């Protein structure tokens, strides 16, 4: 009992702490910048206390390519931190490095502070000086702090290597550097002392800006309300208006009394209608409850099918790196946005590949990260390539089929997005376009017979066509995935539906007593059976199919268990 009380007390303290913390959108932004392989991703993981950014020793290559954002916790200080790709200022135009530099520049313009990382072991390199010039040119108003990373072991070095490295870093012209080790956490206390005044000043400015914006909105709303009141105010004197209001009120009371008398005399049709409406409202999670819980949406598929382009299209901004090169995405980028007042955490994953084809390295780490993020998702959008389907005359490869089946087995909502339909536009591609739009639904039906009505959307992410349709189907899948049906309604339904079954729910000595929904996300039902026998698999599949058909639970996996004296079975 004491352990339970202590656990409850700890949970209460954590909840109170979260309530007292400022909103995330008012936290100052800190950018991690530097040349490749200086430890930016390792410091990101250290500050966020999560191993989300990929870290791998690749001296001659790059691991990070996109801008990853998280909430840093340094002592009692919180701020938003962004990990970026390694900068190479002399990269050729239109190359991958050139495009990653563009993403870093866009992120820098929205930051208040930049942490410029330098490798303490190798010292200041010419590319570090180029990065310093780049920072001064693009963001002269951003405060920059130089961090001498990989400084573990240098403090006890009698040769004075630390002081020499600090002197080189000071020559970059951004003030006194801080020696740290992202791997071991060395020097983070010194970083806290130097960073705290900057973070507090930036956050105060953001809070003041937000307060001013809220004040302008309140003043605008007050003016609109006053104008509406003046327009709707009835003509005549105040006394006439008051008498008219009292007359309307008395007539409404008469209507209410008469309605109660009719109900008491036996006119219960309206009352039963209201009860049915209440049950229908209880069947679904309330809209407010749905919107309070953020939706986890993952974009998955094979490499080079347009997943990152689809993410940029949904966000209507160039948030992640795109291009014709396959396998551009390595980190699973998580972005928060709102759609129709629903908060959504959108994750762009790396290309889905079979594990046996992967060797040790960044590609293997990307695949593991992608699987982990798909498993966390509530709804998964599986992206297919329309042009490839038209050329190969096969809508899904083995990898995509296995991914779709795995998503359903994990109990997640699935939306299939056929991308690159712009490549099949025009009258000359009409036959291929028709073939693709016919082949994909047929193969999905054969592949996932246990889930009928999987949403399929044909889009062109590059042109932004089909964006609204994707989000409409995603929202509907999430709503059905969270559905809750009242037990009374289910039991009235089970009596009718089992009468349609040839065995009537009493086969093999088993009799269906009642059914209830034990959980949502995905909808899970338990059929309670009495008697010596039990329902066979065909009867359980019949109940699952009837649930989908009668309650509109199409396109999502549902689970049906049976509870009897001897055994328990499940059908998905």
Using the 8-state DSSP alphabet, how is residue 448 labeled?
Answer: -
pTM of the predicted model, to two decimals? 0.75
Which residues make Cβ contacts (< 8 Å) with residue 383, sequence separation at least 6? 299, 300, 301, 305, 306, 307, 310, 417, 419
Q: Which of 374, 442, 384, 446 is nearest to 412 (CA)?
A: 374
Would the pLDDT of 79 be above 90? yes
Average pLDDT value for residue range 22-51: 88
Domains in the chain with CATH codes: 21-205 (3.40.50.300), 287-482 (3.40.50.300), 487-564 (3.30.300.20)
Quickly state the pLDDT bin for 441 (edges 50, 70, 90): very high
- Give me the pLDDT at residue 159, please: 67
Residue the block writes with tokens 């000359």: 428
Say what the pLDDT of residue 129 is. Answer: 93
> At 269, is the secondary structure helix, strand, or coil?
helix
Q: State the chain's mean pLDDT as an integer.
A: 80
Q: What are phi and psi of 493, to 5 degrees?
A: -70, -45
Q: How far is CA 262 from the centre of its chain?
A: 52
Query: Tell me: the pLDDT tens digits for 12-26?
Result: 555 445 545 677 778
Which of 395, 401, 391, 390 has the alpha carbon at shortest distance from 300? 401
Answer yes or no: is pLDDT of 412 > 90: yes
pLDDT tens for each residue of 253-291:
343 333 333 333 333 344 344 444 444 454 444 566 666
């Amino acid at each position: 009992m004491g352990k339970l009380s202590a656990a409850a007390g700890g949970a209460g303290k954590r909840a109170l702490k979260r309530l007292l913390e400022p909103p995330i959108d008012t936290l100052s932004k800190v950018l991690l910048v530097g040349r490749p392989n200086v430890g930016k991703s390792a410091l990101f993981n250290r500050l966020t206390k999560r191993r989300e950014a990929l870290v791998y020793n690749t001296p001659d290559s790059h691991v990070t390519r996109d801008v990853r954002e998280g909430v840093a916790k340094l002592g009692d200080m919180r701020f938003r931190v962004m990990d970026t790709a390694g900068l190479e200022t002399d990269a050729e135009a239109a190359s991958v490095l050139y495009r990653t530099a563009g993403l870093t520049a866009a992120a820098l313009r929205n930051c208040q502070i930049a942490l410029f990382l330098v490798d303490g072991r190798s010292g200041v390199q010419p590319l570090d000086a180029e990065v310093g010039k780049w920072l001064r040119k693009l963001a002269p108003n951003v405060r920059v702090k130089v961090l001498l990373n990989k400084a573990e072991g240098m403090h006890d070095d009698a040769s004075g290597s630390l002081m020499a490295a600090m002197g080189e870093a000071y020559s970059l012209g951004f003030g006194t550097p801080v020696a740290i080790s992202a791997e071991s956490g060395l020097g983070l206390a010194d970083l806290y002392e130097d960073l705290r005044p900057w973070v507090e000043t930036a956050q105060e400015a953001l809070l003041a800006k937000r307060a001013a914006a809220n004040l302008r909105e309140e003043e605008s709303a007050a003016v609109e309300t006053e104008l509406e009141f003046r327009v709707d105010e009835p003509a005549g004197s105040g006394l006439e208006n008051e008498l008219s209001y009292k007359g309307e009120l008395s007539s409404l009371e008469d209507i209410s009394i008469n309605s109660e008398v009719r109900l008491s005399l036996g006119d219960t049709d309206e009352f039963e209608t209201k009860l049915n409406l209440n049950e229908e409202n209880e069947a679904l999670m309330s809209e407010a409850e749905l919107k309070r819980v953020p939706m986890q949406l993952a974009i998955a598929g094979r490499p080079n099918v347009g997943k990152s382009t689809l993410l940029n299209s949904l966000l209507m901004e160039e948030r992640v790196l795109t291009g014709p090169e396959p396998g551009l995405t390595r980190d699973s980028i998580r972005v928060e946005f709102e759609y129709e007042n629903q908060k959504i955490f959108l994750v762009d994953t790396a290309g889905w590949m079979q594990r046996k084809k992967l060797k040790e390295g960044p590609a293997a780490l990307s695949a593991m990260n992608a699987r982990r993020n798909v498993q966390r998702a509530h709804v998964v959008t599986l992206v297919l390539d329309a042009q490839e389907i038209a050329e190969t005359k096969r809508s899904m490869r083995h990898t995509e089929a296995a991914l779709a089946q795995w998503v359903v087995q994990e109990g997640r909502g699935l939306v299939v997005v056929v991308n690159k339909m712009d490549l099949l536009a025009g009258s000359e591609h009409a036959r291929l376009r028709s073939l693709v739009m016919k082949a994909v639904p047929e193969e999905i039906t054969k592949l996932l017979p246990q889930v009928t009505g999987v949403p399929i959307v044909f889009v062109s992410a590059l042109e932004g066509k089909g964006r609204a349709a994707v989000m409409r189907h995603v929202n509907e899948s999430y709503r059905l995935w969270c559905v809750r049906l009242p037990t009374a309604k289910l039991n009235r339904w089970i009596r009718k539906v089992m009468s349609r079954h040839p065995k009537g729910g009493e086969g093999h000595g088993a009799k269906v007593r009642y059914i209830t929904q034990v959980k949502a996300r995905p909808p899970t039902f338990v059929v309670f059976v009495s008697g010596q026998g039990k329902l066979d698999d065909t009867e359980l599949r019949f109940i699952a199919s009837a649930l989908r058909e009668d309650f509109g639970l199409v396109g999502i996996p549902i689970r049906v268990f049976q509870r009897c004296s001897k055994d328990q079975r499940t059908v998905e």
